[in-house]
Chain A
Amino acid sequence: MLSASIETATAVPWADLPPELCNLVVDRLDAFSALRFPAVCRSWAAACQVGPRRLRPGAPTLLTPILMDGNGMAAAAAFALHDVSTGRSFHASVSGRGGLKNRRWVGAKDDWLVTTDATCSLELLNPATGDLVRLPSFATIPGATVEDGLRISVAPRSVYVFQHVALCRTPAHRDGYLAVAVFSSLLAVAVAATGDERWTPLRNYVGGPMLYEKVFAVDTCGNVYFWDMDDGGANSNPTVVRAPEIQIDMYVRQRFKLATSIGGEVLLVCTYGDSVFGERARSLGVPNAGYRHTRSILLHELDIGGGDSGVWRRVDGIGGDHALFVGQSYPFYVTVPRGSSDLKANSVYAADLNGYVAMVFDQCQGCAGGIGPFVYSDFRGTSLRPIWFRPTAHLDKQAQYVVR
């Protein structure tokens, strides 16, 4: 084999490919491959122009299936990345075998997706590198049986519907990944981390959790639950903080998401709106009459231990030059560059909301509208919903976490 590899080895100095040629090559790569290009060697990195023309590492992008354009050009494993900080869209294909075939994403953080299939077998996938990490089966929860892609039953006769996974740490984190699985109905949060061979169920209710030394979850009414993880959370009941009083009329629909504030407190993000129809819907740019029109946002910060369990404090904004990104992915902040025309500072960007791929809010003006020409209805019928995604520069691989 050694002699064969010497024969095929190329003798010309590819590292010295002139910069203009490097850029011609990169222009022809899909977005993920282009991200890896500078990682090959110093001279290629020096040649590679970083600019708005390219997908920039760290940029807040929306990952969506490729939009069908009438020519039926959507290919399996082909996706679009929409960089909302520049308004540019990129084509990306998922490398590696399988990847997202017959799978859908149910969570994300940075450039890692949590994917599931018809048997609830969860994986962490980095679509840029093709790295794959298998999560434990839900069957590792005591008494649990996986029924199908959505339901698990737990003896004696409880059924839980799997909703999504909050990926609190990715496999790239020095302490390994940390995932929180969220189910509807009573019980149902379970935690798994790198090295765990099972999910640890946490008792009682749910909605969308997050974590630092505690696991937090919110239900559809805005009540927040948290578990201290001192004892691993295995047997503890959660502390409950009732939802803040939000006085909006009864026809208004609210949605709640959790994030951390810039100061590190728990932040409850409530988007709300009413139903609009006909002419008014059209004048507001709501894609289909009858959608619930999300018109504004309310933010509350939690002082834990301020009362019996915690006290809500209404806040005016997320602060300064930041934009907060929430959705099915783990929430994150981006610093808005001064003078940026594409990103709005002190705003909340919510993915996958009310007919839009994403909407942007600020406290003064409420909803500033949907982002881009991408309307939700394009994705109806697909199980892949728009999700925030942050590409990183792949200068080396996290090989120790690869199972394949």
Chain B
Amino acid sequence: MEVDKGKGEAEETRKVAEADRDTVTLKSSDGKLFEVSKEAAARLSTVLAGMIAGGSIDDNGTDLKQIGSEALENVVDYCNKHANSIPSAALISSSISFNTAPFKEPEEWERKFVDRLSHDALFDLVEAANFLGMERLLDVTCHKISEMMKGKSPDQIREVFNIKNDYTKEELEEIRQELAWAFYDD
């Protein structure tokens, strides 16, 4: 939420702010200011936790030059929502007996949170989460991206993500060979 806009959530943020520096102010690459609960920021982002512990937080807005205002707004929104949500007895995904790591399934509100994002916003958010070392938000965003490609052919995936097919026919054959490295078929 932008600080100077009098929305409900901003009000709440201000209330928390009044309880003396319980928030940190973050500044996006395009100079917009956002306030976020210090506790949530420290808990959800290893990078912000490090900055808070190291005293490198600027009261006038800590510069996050890599993150645009839309992505930063989503990050802050996520932190605030996370702070307000009651963590459910976490659902470990059903792949216990398999080699995929047991990822925590996103909770309902997290699903809704990423579902409403445009593809572009999702891309910016996953990069921001990566930059800020937000493991849980990375989980949620990468889960969403994987959902978008499940069961789709390479062609369909390219269409969804607007990716150009930069393979030549020869390269496809080459990669096919390379991937089959240790095995062959007479």
Q: How many residues of A contact B (CB 8 A)?
A: 63
A10 lies within 8 A of B120 (CB) = yes
Pick the contact of B142: A15, A24, A38, A397 (CB < 8 A). A24
Partner among A14, A260, A335, A395 whose Cβ is within 8 Å of the Cβ of B184:
A335
B91 interface hit (Cβ, 8 Å): no
Measured between alpha carbons, how far is A38 from B179 in the docked complex, in Å? 10
Judge whether A10 and B161 touch: CB under 8 Å.
yes
Contact B183 A58 (CB under 8 A): yes
Contact check, A28 vs B103: say whether CB atoms are below 8 A apart: yes
- Which residues does chain B contribute within 8 Å of A53, judged by CB atoms? 99
Q: Mark B139-182, 1 if CB is under 8 A from A, else 0.
A: 00011011001111111011001111111000110011001111
Main secondary structure of the interface of B (DSSP, over half): loop
Asked, given contacts A37-B149, A57-B179, whether A12 binds B123 with beta carbons under 8 Å apart, the answer is yes
In the bound complex, do residue B186 and residue A262 qualify as a contact, i.e. CB atoms below 8 Å apart?
A: yes
| Cβ-defined contact, A88 with B99, below 8 A | yes
Inter-chain CB contacts under 8 Å: number: 161
- Closest residue of A by beta carbon distance from B120: A12
Contact of B98 among A26, A33, A60, A90 (CB under 8 A): A90
Tell me, rounded to whole Å, the shortest Cβ–Cβ distance linking B147 to chain A. 8
Main secondary structure of the interface of A (DSSP, over half): loop
Measured between alpha carbons, how far is A53 from B179 in the docked complex, in Å? 14
| CB-contact partner of B176 in A56, A90, A91, A392, under 8 A | A392
- Stretch of B34-42, B56-64, B124-132 at the chain-chain interface: B124-132
Q: How far is the CB of B182 from chain A (nearest CB, A)?
A: 5
Query: Is B49 engaged at the interface, CB distance under 8 Å to the other chain?
Result: no
Contact residues of A with B, CB < 8 Å?
9-12, 14-15, 17-18, 20-21, 24-30, 33, 36-42, 45, 50, 53, 56-60, 67, 69, 73, 80, 85, 88-91, 93, 95-96, 110, 129-130, 260, 262, 264, 332-335, 337, 390, 392-397
12 pairs of residues in contact across A and B, judged by CB atoms under 8 Å: A18-B130, A21-B138, A27-B103, A27-B142, A33-B151, A38-B175, A73-B94, A88-B99, A95-B151, A129-B153, A337-B182, A393-B180
10 shortest A-B CB distances, which residue pairs?
Answer: A58-B183, A10-B119, A95-B151, A28-B146, A58-B180, A14-B161, A39-B154, A12-B123, A395-B172, A24-B142
